Amino acid sequence: MEKNIESTRQLKVAKELQKHIAEIIRSKGMAAFGGALVSVSGVKVSPDLSVAKIYVSIFPSDKAEAVMQTLGDNSRALRGELGVKVAKQLRIVPEIAFYLDSSLDYVEHIEELLKK
């Protein structure tokens, strides 16, 4: 079996985590992130469910660095809030790490190239 294929359990946990972390980030509001719109574009969970990589897209992209810093600084608090929401489903709340999903920037770049 290939290493990069995710199990059904991993996919279900990732989907559940994505739903809850998106809800938590949305509840903070845009003011918490300097007026930037932050959306959770995906979650990947390690095979042992101990680490969750959370991919976020940020608009406008020029605020990405500041938002990623804010998310990194508050990851323990966000993990705590996530723990409250998934306490009934998971025994151990995974460690969370935030990654920038730059696919929106890529799409924007391609559109600019096509317009030329």
Here the CATH number for the domain that contains residue 101 is 3.30.300.20
For 40-63, what is each residue's pLDDT tens digit?
A: 999 999 999 999 999 999 988 889
In a domain, 87, yes or no: yes
Give pTM, 2 decimals.
0.85
User: Looking at the 3D structure of the chain, how many domains does it have?
Assistant: 1
List residues bridging with 42 in a β-sheet.
55
For residue 115, is pLDDT > 90? no
For 4-48, what is each residue's pLDDT tens digit?
A: 678 999 999 999 999 999 999 999 988 899 999 999 999 999 999
- Determine contact, residues 24/40, Cβ cutoff 8 Å: no
Q: Judging by DSSP bridges, how do beta strands 37-45 and 51-59 pair with one another?
A: antiparallel
Confidence of residue 109 (pLDDT cuts 50, 70, 90): confident
What pLDDT does residue 4 have? 66
List residues bridging with 97 in a β-sheet.
53
- Determine contact, residues 82/20, Cβ cutoff 8 Å: yes
| Average pLDDT value for the chain | 90
Domain span at 97: 8-115
- Determine contact, residues 21/13, Cβ cutoff 8 Å: no
> How far apart are alpha carbons 109 and 71 in whole angstroms?
25
In a domain, 3, yes or no: no
